[in-house]
Structure 1
């Protein structure tokens, strides 16, 4: 009996620890050396473990460049394991596109490699209130085990960056947040747009400046990419990936501006029907309600300041 118990103990010690949450990540090859790891078109829930975001990676001759690390420590670990099924090359660099938690909370899984972002993104994450992480823990549950919010350890500047035969261009923009990093791989023509682009999923706006966001989309178009990886939604050529986001932002600006000029309150705006081209987007009604809460007060203040 003692021998059997001892053998069982050894077996348990030899077994890998159980996953807090199995994200069932998969890599879609979208271009030469280039892989998209798609997220779900949903809000944070316990059922999805926070996996609502696209991450991606490029296998270069000098190692792997990862774009965003995902929504939790366990996601980051499973992303690393997924990359290892594609290539045995080491991870060379992780680039964080902006300071929203679903894009960087996996950074802890990459403690042994450079994790970098724009300086303003690092500062924004450093100043992130702890209540935001607490809220995600409550929404997502066990999948967040061990996750902490830490800023990327290194800064990147806009401009060219060549790694392993891939010529990347780092573009510093803003509008979705105060600092949004877009990454163009000129070798393949793939543009990693972060949350400056959404496709088939309603854009999020907690820190948005609509005018600056629209200006950022103009900059992205001028890069003439062949394929765009949005922060949320499928990879697609530029017209689809940028037009939908631009149209939605322009509609928001016109709708909220007109409502403020007419003196409508938030409840009246929320009762408005969504245009057919936006009503079918994922989480459309929920995100519209959040946007009214985020942005409408500024439209009201603008009208009052003009009086």
Structure 2
């Protein structure tokens, strides 16, 4: 069924968009545990709708215009509301390129990471533009954030309050945001938390990730929504905490044993995680980058 005069997209892909109900006013589309491909159409990260009464507020927007349009059509089957506001948690394109659909259809206000404005312009060709088919990426465009978040902000839409919390240091990226909804104790941690797959720490910090984990553990939440992964319970953080705790410990031990950069990925393998998605693709790079970060590290 067409929504807002738009016809449902038809292109080759191997995913089915179905919202997962988190609580009485929150639904999430949980992406596939893989890298972006032509087959998955970029549907490989999580984004969520919060019903505030008269509007939807989105936490992240998905990877493309087409995915965002399909997600909205699915949510309209539950309740058809305008999307007033989108909170974009960090600059990685699988989380925010879909905002171009909502900006066009609703003129949604975009709130989020300053790095989206700093690092991208209308001519930027991000990873999704390079990796996806023309059908999957069509209509997608770079949209600037309307309000950059520099400090903790409380946002109220209808009767629902959102707390937007900058981590304040490099963690998964250089400018990550948490979003917390006090009324139902839901914490959106984005890519600072992943489960079911290995994280990519290419733009991040082992120490920053562990500091972010400490921040999360001090918060009162019933649901924790990861940026990637299907576990949205209080236990959603467990894999992330274990991975970065062990990664730090083992790389520091290797440094102490004078293992050099050329051999670090042979010495530190993180084999507890070898059955997780993207282990072969990402783990060695994470270990190498952790060595670069921790080689001269002194405990704070």
What TM-score, normalized to structure 1? 0.83
Query: How far off its partner does 1:79 sit?
Result: 2.1
Q: Tell me which structure has the larger Cα radius of gyration.
A: 1
Match of 2:144 in 1: 151
Gaps of 5+ in 1: 1-13
The correspondence of residues 168-183 of structure 1 with structure 2, limited to 5 A, is 168-173=162-167, 174=169, 175-183=171-179
How much does 1:164 deviate? 2.2
Give the aligned length.
286
Shift of 1:296: 3.3
Compute the displacement of 1:33 (Å): 0.9
**What is the CA-CA distance between 1:172 and the residue it aligns to?**
1.0
Structure 2 runs not aligned, ≥5 long: none
TM-score (norm 2): 0.85
CA-based RMSD: 2.7
Q: Determine the C-alpha separation between the residues in 1 that align with 2:93 and 2:241.
A: 23
Q: Deviations over 1:22-41 (max 9, x none)?
A: 65311111101110111001
- Given that 2:9 and 2:70 are in contact with CA atoms closer than 8 Å, whether structure 1 keeps it comes out as no
Q: 1:280 to 1:67 in 2, by over 3 A?
A: same
Q: Could you tell me how far apart the structure 1 residues matched to 2:115 and 2:54 are?
A: 26
Matching residue of 1:200: 196
Distance 1:285 1:18, change over 3 A: closer
Q: 1:20 to 1:145 in 2, by over 3 A?
A: farther
Deviation at residue 151 of structure 1 after TM alignment: 2.9
Distance 1:126 1:16, change over 3 A: closer
Q: Secondary structure at the match of 2:225?
A: strand
Report the 3-state secondary structure (helix = DSSP H, G, I; strand = E; otherwise coil) of the residue aligned with 2:132: helix
| Deviation string, structure 1 residues 179-234 (Cα, Å, up to 9, x no partner) | 11111111111111111111122111011112122111111111110110100112
SS of 1:30's partner is strand
> 1:266: Cα distance to partner?
5.0
Q: Are residue 220 (structure 1) and residue 220 (structure 2) matched?
A: no
